[in-house]
Amino acid sequence: MTDDTRWQPSLRYPDPSIVALDPSFKRYQLPLSAVERLYHGTRWGEGPVWLGDARCLLWSDIPNNRVLKWEEETGAVSAWRKPSNNANGHTRDRQGRIIACEHGGRRVVRFEHDGAITVIASHFQGKRLNSPNDVVVKSDGSIWFTDPPFGIYGFYEGEKTAPELPHTNVYRVDGTTGEITLVADDINHPNGLAFSPDERILYIVESRSEPRNILAYDVDGATIRNRRTFIACQPGETPDGFRVDIDGNLWCGWGMSPAFDGIRVFNSAGAPIGHIHLPERCANVAFGGRHRNRLFMAAAQSLYALYVNTQGVAGG
């Protein structure tokens, strides 16, 4: 367990845990902003999503089978959904509805405005999905998600069982017809994914390559093509989930060693420009706040936040 007394907020500005790896990163730093710890007590935090209309953040605690809610006004944390079917990644569609990936349910679901739950995807060609991991909604309403078998490998993040589909698939659900199609079958355990600001590029983490890679594909309507390695990670670097800002920078959950734990920031050319050091591995991030300029970081056992001098892309 992470020692809750080990981490202390910086009492000095600028916060020394925020490091520019390239001078270009300084434009995104706010000298009078520091990393804040908002909560401690998850087993494996994941899948944050900001709800601006409710002024709160939801994020997953997968092994504890719950989704937590942090309230901006009071700082209170409560269970938003329990049991959660071991929910992992979350996002919102362009109508403001929450989309969730469920390890335990082995499906992607949508929460309607009246509280009803609609199943978006649970099978492909008659076979059950593995354990949908992360999800993003394109501006045309289509839902794109990754489906590695992490949730069925054991009883910690879901229910152990044999996979029915390959561990390499990424899917798209048409926003009008609901048809599910396979868009990639060549990624070794696909994980986090996000679009570039203009939606012409889809980035996907390949989480079982050695070392891990962040791949890029050109988006061609409902398909993707031209696979390439956008970021070749070094041994010990483990990207997981990430989000993109309006300048095309990738803010990536990073970690698995003290030197790498936190957030690694890459520019649109794939060069590392900054790092936010945390005392534990960070799995995923979300931009939120009134102006989408507050970076929420779902780490292993804690939730952190930092105001930055940029904004997350709309719908990210």
Known catalytic residues are 240
Q: Which amino acid is at 77?
A: V
| Annotated binding residue 293 | no
Q: Known binder of ligand: residue 188?
A: no
**What six digits make up the tokens of 189?**
């355990």
Is 46 annotated as belonging to a binding site?
yes
Is residue 240 a known part of a binding site? yes
Residues annotated in a binding site for a divalent metal cation: 46, 191, 240
Annotated binding residues for substrate, as ranges? 133
Q: Which residues are annotated as a binding site?
A: 46, 133, 191, 240
